[in-house]
Amino acid sequence: MDTVDFTKMEDMTFDETQMLNEKYVDHAQSNLQTQLLNLLVSMKGPTLGYQIDRYRHSLQSATRVLRNGEETEMVVAALFHDVADPIAPENHSAAAAEIIKPYVSERIFWVIRHHGLFQGYYYFHHLGGDRNAREKFREHKWFDDCEYFCHEYDQNCFDPKYNELALEEFEPLVKEVFAEKRIVSIGELA
């Protein structure tokens, strides 16, 4: 069987579900990394007033993490920390964090999830906001990690003179991190 007979899921059979699941998993497994890398590449071009584009910003972030000797999961998280910018401009931290969640530790998920708010320390006050908005998380066990990420791997990654690595250098690391957990099913199994 290559195609289902149903037009409404309420008529879906056991065999159809097995077939669909297998196709979905194979497709997702082989396409996810390419899709994410393509999304990064899509940020090439517009600098939006900065001195470099968001593609270079992402590479600089990942390069700094790598050169600082951090774990591979953190390198990949840095590479993708702004990957949701083009598709979720109002909530890019949450969207990027959810994308990498199955493949990274809880700590790294938390850091990426909150990096937008923590990064606001450097500019919220210039927009009439509160640069210390992140203080509400002061007692959180990963506050320092997120503060460090923003200071060392984000706010300082807008440098046209920085010698960042090429995307190809990160591809084996992306492969390694994403291979650790195989996609198992359509949607979310309860």
Cβ 13 to Fe ion, closest distance in Å? 45
Task: Choose between 24 and 137: whose C-beta lies nearer to Fe ion.
Answer: 137
Cα-Cα end-to-end distance for the chain: 27
Q: How many residues does the chain have?
A: 190
Residue placing its CB nearer to Fe ion in the complex, 14 or 82: 82
Q: How far is the CB of 180 from Fe ion (least distance, A)?
A: 24
Amino acid at 128: G
Q: Following CA atoms 126, 108, 65, 170 in sequence, which dihedral angle do they give, to the nearest 10 degrees?
A: -120
Least distance from C-beta 154 to Fe ion, angstroms? 4
Q: CB nearer to Fe ion: give 73 or 154.
A: 154
Separation of alpha carbons 185 and 188, rounded Å: 7
Run of H or E including 106: helix 106-119
**What is the binding site for Fe ion (CB under 5 A)?**
82, 154
**Nearer to Fe ion among residue 119 and residue 174 (C-beta):** 119
Question: Nearest approach, Cβ of 116 to Fe ion (angstroms)?
Answer: 5
